[in-house]
Structure formats: structure tokens, C-alpha cells
Amino acid sequence: MSEAVIRSIGGPVLHARAKGAFRVGEVIEIGARRLPGEVIRLKEEELVAQVYEDTTGLRPGDPVYGTGGPLAVRLGPHLLGSIFDGLLRPLDGALDREALPRQGGGQFRFRPLATAGQALGPGSPFGEVPGGGINQLCLLPPQLAGTVESIAEEGTFAADTNLCTIRTPAGALREVGFFRHWPVRQARPVLERLPSDEPMITGQRILDTLFPVARGGRAALPGGFGTGKTVLQETLAKWCDADVIVYVGCGERGNEMAEVLHDFPSLVDPRTGRRLMERTVIIANTSNMPVTAREASIYTAVTVGEYFRDQGLHVSLMADSTSRWAEALREVSGRLGELPGEAAYPAYLASRLAEFYERAARVRTLAGGIGSLTIIGAVSPPAGDFSEPVTSHTKRYVGAFWGLDRERAQARFYPAIHPLQSYSEGAGRFASWWTERGNPDWVAQRERLLSLLESQADLERMARIVGKDALPPAQQLTLLCAELVNESFLRQSAVSPVDRFCSPERQTAMLRVILRFIELAEAALERGVAPQTIAELAILRRLQRMGEEIGEDRLDRIPALRADLEAAMADIEGAPRHAA
Amino acid sequence: MRPELSVQGTATAIEGPLLFLRRNVEVGLNEAVEIIGEGEKPRLGRVAALDETVLVIEVLESTGGLGLQDVRVRFFGEPLHAALGPGLLGRIFNGVGQPADGGPPVALARRLRIDGTPINPASRELPKDFIETGISAIDLMNSLVRGQKLPLFSGGGLPHDRIATEIAQNARLRGEGEGAFAIVFVGIGISHETAEAFRRAMQDSGALAHTAMFLNLASEPSTQRLLTPRCALTAAEYLAAEEGRHVLVIMTDMTNYCEALREVSASHGEVPSRKGYPGYMYSDLASIYERAGYVRGVKGTITQLPILTMPAEDISHPIPDLTGYITEGQVVLDKTLDHKGVYPPINVLPSLSRLMDQGTGAGYTHADHPSLAGQLFASYAKAVRVRLLASVVGRDGLTEIDRDYLEFADQFERRLVHQVGRRTLEDSMELGWRVLGRLPRAELTRLSDAQISRYIRPDREGKPHA
């Protein structure tokens, strides 16, 4: 392989004189410790590379070795339930050994899905790794097809065993095992991209009902510090309706990773009854780890997501935070002396963001199955200013935008998603999904809520000028109803064992009760009941605490609550004590 | 270690804190050096940049008095290390870890690299044990837990120094581990008087016995400020790892640290990012703050309480902004409260402790602590909105419930946030329930019926619609 000699080093960037052919994007090994790096620029003899480790102690004259290949990661059945660094090197052998389809000492179970003589197309499964909640498939690499020459019997094999031999149409023999490598900066091929008309249920009322994200869609989660980005990302990772979660902590806190590692093994997926850790891959590059590996970690995570998608699974990728990744780009760009763009970010920031988000999709896999990769990226705008480059470029590429609001967060109103700043493009396409789940009125209900919240904002501005008392009764009632929607429906505690997850059925039931209250209250107002009287009804407190008091297994209490509501409202209709 | 290596007569330029040498020795990036001028005491430095012909050294002290001909540079062949050993507590050191109290050098037991090494996230334990600071607005509303990093965002003229001293004197662990508590107090670029006041306060209260102080004065060179927190944290890591202590590191003032970082970055000719601060300031701050934590297999823990003054009280300034993105919450001091005579003037709304859920509640503090804090936050946030409304339309434009909220806000600030002397968590909780009694029960939506009937008593003055 080619060699080079270091000429100078500054931070994570080095310049070297090449003695042989290098390629842009080629992985190199540096110095006696063989630190990993990647070539980013070539000019005649001169080679510029970024180093993925701390460069302390490197010196001019140290050797650089080429490897011939691009930055690639090893994909296989070892990923689920474990934690890796930005280059997919294990940070801890196995955290949750029992959960893994692994038989100590790096062994896996294998069950063949093909027989000798069978013809297999590119990306087809030839076997599976049973256990651990999900049967992981062993797929042929996308560029390989042929007939099965021989295949292993069902059994337990060492990780590096060759399981299957394929004879290609050209007559060559190729061996495949549990693992395959894939270059992280290249999207894995699919048969076709499919439209997505199905929401990815997150178990969060404000998201599923107001701002749903599609399976295979993209969502951005921007918010200043302390607005609850990370808690929301973790909540989504815990309860969203996906087969596999890839959680990438990019330039964030070490204690957050510790929290994920601590919580996930003990939590149970409400849909499958299996432990959450079994469906999770964690990629951690904390803020104090090398900045260049932070840049790579996003691509690593997407590649892992695509690997599971190609097995016909629904994958959700949580990236926290894409801003730190953009800052890593900026730092390396600055070291290279590139012309800075807006806020000193490199001019190619937007195209890099687009490349990343474009890898989310609902697809028909090479093997003919249907899989999806949904990307939810947190953004940390400096000073919470959504007009900064990372947020504004991200906005162009995502379908759902969940803006976090500092004022809500300060009142400990979580999730602090601002209903008027957030949006979900083309939410109407999910109507048929909700109809199938027994709620044909979803579109109308959603519009009702949004317009109610819109008028609340207008009226509060007005009240600031004329005083709340001066508002006409109908507007006072609107404020009361909007407050109820916020308090009882949009607020949802991530730490409450009862309310942290809300199924679509429960969301619909709660929403119907609330909308019925609004209907009845408006009718009462028509009959001359004062808003103040309605505000003092005891039933209101029960509605406000509905999420906390009526859990998933207590949905049968809803009719009783509704009956009490009807009775309470009928009562004031009969005797308007404080009629205006 | 290699045999001693030193060069003389190769210096080509001195610019600000940078010394340029012709490269004729084999040294690596970031290695420590000593710069020896004619008849002067040695100054510390490190290799900042390297290429085939030039060696750039960042001098960590003033370059005044150095000449190109007579300067001699001695290479250590390794990055900067601190020599640590038993007897750190009760001592006062300067910004680079040398004794500054006239005492003898510390006995050498371990040499540790002052930059530390990143903690593998998979080896971290979850921080969860409560630390009682004696301040209601922190203990009750924004609890500090062992292994957390919780900064204090202050402003000019606010009593952050007094709060820091009181926390250093009063902080304690509850239950086991109480005896193994230690404080590392770090002054970064502070004035001589402030340093003296800290020293005296710690000495007089007897708290110095379990404290190690590292003081870098405003008059000392700014390059040294980059080392002070690192030296102190290395000492804290020694206390946690070797002596099994739970260490609370109080660092004041991180703004001075960031100013030094900007100054040094500018002298290197780096491309500036926001407000002239270097683009890597986030990563650099992270390399300090992320040293807090609770590592599996290590008996002690490191908790950080950095203090920074927000330039022009602007929380969106890069220093508090980047800090807030790294630390696990923040405690914000407020000028308006200070003017009202509330001490400590902590504004609980923008304050936050991210790890509070993990260190409070049944098994840690009290089963009803989280709901109480949640209700206080919700009610106070609403009360502040009402106050804003009242400032425009006047009290008369408010509804009756809104007037209750106004009253609640005053009670909350005067009775709960304001305090004289330390309070236990139980005292703080008792006060919390009492001020909530000022509000109609129907407003307490974050409390269960059981909690209301158990704790909430109508306030003395009584209310029409309880």
C-alpha cells in the first residue's frame, strides 16, 4: 500500500508528502500507534487528512500508511443491544448479554434460509440469526448474486465463519458470513423508493395527533439548551413504533449516554413486551471525544440504519445533535483554510445536510421486502435562534418540524413543542390510517385544535392590552378551552410511568372527551352561563389529570368520565347560578 | 522518558505568547517545555504547532524579558503532567498547581496528565445521589446530584461569590459518604481581593480543612488560565480515584477562562467564530466540563459547579450558550430579584437541573419532592405571566384567580427563594407546601388529590374559593 510522511500537524488535521497513490476518502493509518484517519484533499505530492484520534505526540516525519479502501464499518448481528463509538468500534463488549443473539465468545446462531443450488439475487437473505426479539437476516451484499454452492446447517458458529458459498454467473466462488463491510458515505442501494402514507407512531400526543412524521420521513427537533431536546429524543427512542432504534449521541454529554445505557435495559416495549435494549444500537461520540470522529458518526449511524432497513425492518434514527456535527465540519473546514460561509460554516453545509436527510426513506429492498428508515435530527441553534444556518437549512429538507419553545420549557411544560411554530407537511395523507384505527374525524379534530391554539395566541395578545376581564365571554371561554387542551392533552410527562406512552386509541379517546367538553361549554355559553362558572366546575380538574389518571389499561373508565361530564354540564344548563 | 533535551539559539521570533523556533529536534505535538531566559525563572510552555522547519511554542506565562539569542528551551518529551499526592486538602495552590500558601511541595504519589483522558461513556454510572447545598431554590427546585455539572449563570454586581462561598461551606451529602466529601475551589482570573476573601472565608469557617484551592489571579498571564481548571480537575480526579472522595469542584469565573481562550486563539491567527471566540470553544469547554462524573469502579465522584458572569446579562452570549449546551442544567441569578432584596437572587424559571429526576423522589430525597417542584414551577411560571399582564393593564384588569397568582409570586420569592442561613431539604419542602396554599386547589393540577389533602393548608389569609 502507499505510504506518506507527515509534514505538519495542527489539531486534527495533518499534511503529508505522499510516496505513492492515495485516493480522496481513503482510510489511512498514522504513526506508530496506527491512528485512523481519512484523506480529504490531494494536490500533487501533498496529502491532507483528518485524524480520528487525539493527535498529541504525533510529529513531522512520522509515517502514514494507505489502506486502499474508503471509511467503512462492519455490519452484522453484533450491533443490536450494544454501544459503539463514531467509527463503530465497540465501547463495551456486550452490555446486555442475554438479550443478544450471541453465544459468548463472539458466536452466533445461524439458520439457513436457502438451499444448495438455489439462485439468489443481490441483497437476498440466505440465512437468519434467531433470538433477541428480532430475527436478523443475513443478506448477500448488494453487488453479489449467483447460485448457492453450499450453505451451513442450522447451528452456532464463530463470528468469522464462512456460512455460505455463492457461485457467481461468471463462475467465481464467493464466501459470505455473518458480517459485511459497507462504506459509510455511500447510501446502500434499494429496488425503489416508496411513497409514505403511514405515520410513525411515537406515543406522544402532540406529535401523533398534531405533527405526525411519516415512516421513512424526516423530522427536525430544534431548541435552545434546556428546552428538552434530549429528553424528547430519548422518549421517542423508547416508545416510537419502530423495529430498530439507532441512537447517535453526536458531540453531546457523556452522562446522557450513561442514562440511555441505564434505562433501556430495564424498560419494556409496550408493543412487543421485550426489553427496549434488544432493539437499540447506540453510537456515542461525546463532546470530549475527537471532533473528527463526530463528523463520521452521523454517517456511521445512517449506514447502520440502512443495514437494518434492508432486512425489511422499520428503523428510526435519532441524531442528537446535528449541530455538533455541523460544528465538526466547521472546525475541520477552518483548519483547512477553506473560505467560510454563513456563521463560519463551510459553504457545503447545506449539501451535506441534504445528503444526510435524503438517506431517510420508505423503500422496497433489493430482496423485495418493505423497510423504512426515519430520521429525527435534533438541532441546537446558538441562543435558540431558528434563523441560524443549521436550523434554516435543515428546515428545507425535513417534512416535520418540531420547534421547542423556551417559555414552555421554563414552565416545565413538556414536551415543550410550540404548536404554532411547528408543522408537519401533508399531514392529510395520514387520514386513512387514522380512519382504519377507528377515528374518521382525525383531520377535522386536528384542525379544530390548531385553530383553537391559534386564537388563544391572538386573544392573549389582546388581553395584554385590554385586560382579561374586558374580553367578551365567548373569548374568555376560548382561552379556557385552549388552556385545557394544553394542560390535559399536549402536556405529557416523560417520567410518568402512566403517561409516558399514549397509544393512538387512547389519544383518540382523550381527544373526543376534550372536544365534547368544548362543545358542551360553548352550548352552555349560548344559554347564558358565565365562563367563570364553567371554569369552577370540578369536572375540569378530572379532565386536566386524565392523562395521569387513565392509563392504557384503564380506557374503560373513559365512558364514565364522559357521562360525568355530560351530567355536570347538564347541571349548569338547568341552573345557571352565576349567569352573566 | 527520554533523556533531557534542550535547545538554545534556534529562536527566530517572539510574538505575543508564541515563541518560534527552527525545528532541529524530534518532538511531538502538545508536549510540555520549559523556557529559560537569562537569569530568569523557568516558564512553562507547550508545543502548539509543528511542521518540517518550524516549531511553535505557546508560552504559558508572560514572554516579557525573553530574547532570541539567550532563550533556552527544555523539552519534557511528554504532555503537561501534574504531580499529586496525599495532603492536597487544606492547601492553597497557584494557577499551575504550585503551592501558594508558603507550605512545602505536595508529596509525590502519582503523576497525571492535566488534559485528562475522555471518559468512555459506557463506563459511566448514572449520577443519582443528592447533594444538599442548603439553598432552597437549588435543593428543592433544581437539585444537584453527585457527578453532575451545574453552572451558576451570574452577572456583574450579583452575589455569586457569596453563594459560591456558602455552598463550599454548607454543601453536604446525605447519609453514607458524608465523611468522604471534599471541595476543590478554583479561582480563574479573579481579583486579588476576591481571592483573599475566599481564602479567609474558607479558613475562618474551618471548611479549608476539606478543601484544596487553586487560585489564578487576574494579574497573571492569560495563557495560564487555560491550565488552571485542568490542574484543579486533575487534582480532583486524584482525590476521587485514589482517596475515594466525593469532590465538588467550584470554578469561578469561567468567563475569564473563555476570554483567555479567545486571546490565545487570536494570537495564533485562527479564524474566529461567533463574537471572536474560536470555533472549537464548544469542544474545549466540553473537555473541562465532561470531566465531571461518576465512573464505574472508581469510589469517588466529581461534581462541578462552574460560575460564569454573563457579559451584559445576556444568556444568549456564546459563553453561557455553549456552557448550557454542555452542562446538565444551569442556575440563573437575576438582577431584578437582587434589587428586591431577595438573596440568593435565583430565578428558578430559566434555571434547570437535568439530572433532577434521577436524584430526587422516593429512595433519594422524598417521594413527593418531584411533584412539589413541578407544581411550584408551573404555578410560578403562570404567576410571572400574570405579572407581565398586570404591568400593562394594572391589577384591576385581572380576574380574581390572577390576583391570587400575583400574591403567590411575591410569597414564593420572599419566603421560599429568599433565605438567611442554610436550610435542610425538609425545611424547604415545608415552605413549598405552605406557599402553594395561597392558590385555589383547582389550580394545583400537578398534584394528586392525596397530595393536596395531605399537605396543602389554606394560607392564613384564607381564600374565597379554596
What mean pLDDT, rounded, does chain A reach? 90
A46 and B CB contact within 8 Å: no
pLDDT tens per residue across span A190-221: 999 999 889 999 999 999 999 999 999 999 99
B82-358: CATH number = 3.40.50.12240
Of A10, A331, A536, the CB nearest to B49: A10
Round to the nearest angstrom and report the end-to-end CA distance of chain A. Answer: 89
Q: Which residue has the cell 476539606?
A: B210
The packing angle between helices A389-397 and A349-357, to 10°, is 40
Please classify residue B31 by burial: count the beta carbons closer than 10 Å to its beta carbon, then call 0-12 exposed, 13-18 middle and 19+ buried. Answer: buried
Say if strands B81-84 and B72-79 run parallel, antiparallel, or are unpaired.
unpaired
Question: Given an 8 Å threshold on Cβ–Cβ distance, is B273 in contact with A330?
Answer: yes
pLDDT at res. B464: 44
The pLDDT-based confidence of B260 (bands split at 50, 70, 90) is very high
* Residues pairing with B186 in the sheet: B214, B251
Pick among A225, A231, A462, A544 to test the B interface (most B CBs inside 10 A): A225
Q: Cβ–Cβ of B280/A15 closer than 8 Å?
A: no
Q: Which residue has the higher pLDDT, B178 or B101?
A: B101
- CA gap A69, A71 in Å, rounded: 7
Amino acid at A114: A
Give dist(CA A315, CA A248) in Å, integer. 13
Q: Which three cell numbers stand for residue A183?
A: 462504506
- The cell for A375 is 430520521
pLDDT tens for B28-80 read 888 899 999 887 888 889 888 888 888 899 888 888 888 888 889 999 888 88
Tell me the torsion sign for CA atoms A110, A113, A118, A120.
Answer: negative
Length of chain A: 580
Q: Check pLDDT > 80 for residue A264.
A: yes
Confidence bin at B178 (pLDDT 50/70/90): low
Instruction: Cell numbers for A414, please give them.
Output: 413538556
Radius of gyration for chain B, computed over Cα atoms and rounded to the nearest angstrom: 25
The answer to whether A542 contacts chain B (CB < 8 Å) is no
CB-CB contact of B21 with B11 (8 Å) = yes
Residue B451: phi and psi, rounded to 5, are: -65, -40
Cβ-defined contact of A254 to B290 (cutoff 8 Å)? yes
**More confident: A101 or A185:** A185
CA distance B459 to chain A (A): 20
Q: Are the beta carbons of B341 and B417 closer than 8 angstroms?
A: no
pLDDT value, residue B151: 96
By the CB < 8 Å criterion, does A532 face chain B?
yes
Separation CA A29–CA A35 (nearest Å): 5
Q: What is the pLDDT of residue A500?
A: 92
pLDDT above 90 as % of chain B: 54
Q: Which DSSP letter does residue B414 get?
A: I
The pLDDT confidence band at residue A580, using thresholds 50, 70 and 90, is very low
- Please report, for chain B, the start and end positions of each structural domain, with discontinuous segments joined by +: 5-78, 82-358, 369-455
Q: Which residues of A touch B230 (CB under 8 A)?
A: none
Nearest to A288 among B31, B286, B324 (CB): B286
- Is the omega angle on the peptide bond into residue B344 within 30 degrees of 0, that is, cis? yes
Residues of A in contact with B27 (CB under 8 A): 59
State the pTM of this model: 0.91
CB B311 within 8 A of CB B331: no
**A242 in contact with B at a CB cutoff of 8 Å?**
no
* A573 pLDDT tier (thresholds 50, 70, 90): low
The pLDDT of residue B460 is above 60: no
Distances (CA, A) of A312 to A273, A319, A366: 21, 22, 10
DSSP A293-310: HHHHHHHHHHHHHHHHHT
Contact A60 B50 (CB under 8 A): yes
CB atoms within 10 A of CB A564: 14
Other C-beta atoms lying within 10 Å of the C-beta of residue B243:
15
Indicate the residue type of A95: L
Q: Which residues contact B210 (CB under 8 A, 6 or more apart)?
A: B89, B90, B181, B182, B183
Task: Output A351 or A576, whichever has higher pLDDT.
Answer: A351
Q: By the 8 A CB rule, do B173 and B166 touch? A: no
* pLDDT, tens only, A493-520: 988 889 999 999 999 999 999 999 999 9
Task: Report how far residue A219's alpha carbon sits from residue B18's, in angstroms, rounded to the nearest whole number.
Answer: 47
Using a CB-CB distance cutoff of 8 angstroms, which residues of chain A are in contact with residue B357?
495
* Cβ proximity of A339 and A281 under 8 Å: no
Under DSSP, the state recorded for A102 is B
Are the Cβ atoms of A465 and B271 closer than 8 angstroms? no
How confident is the model at residue B66, as a pLDDT?
87
pLDDT of residue B461: 52
Q: Tell whether A262 lies on the interface with B, counting CB pairs under 8 A.
A: yes
Residue among B273, B331, B364 with most chain A CBs within 10 A, to mutate: B273
The CATH code that applies to domain B5-78 is: 2.40.10.170
pLDDT at residue A93, as a whole number: 47
Is A407's pLDDT higher than 50? yes
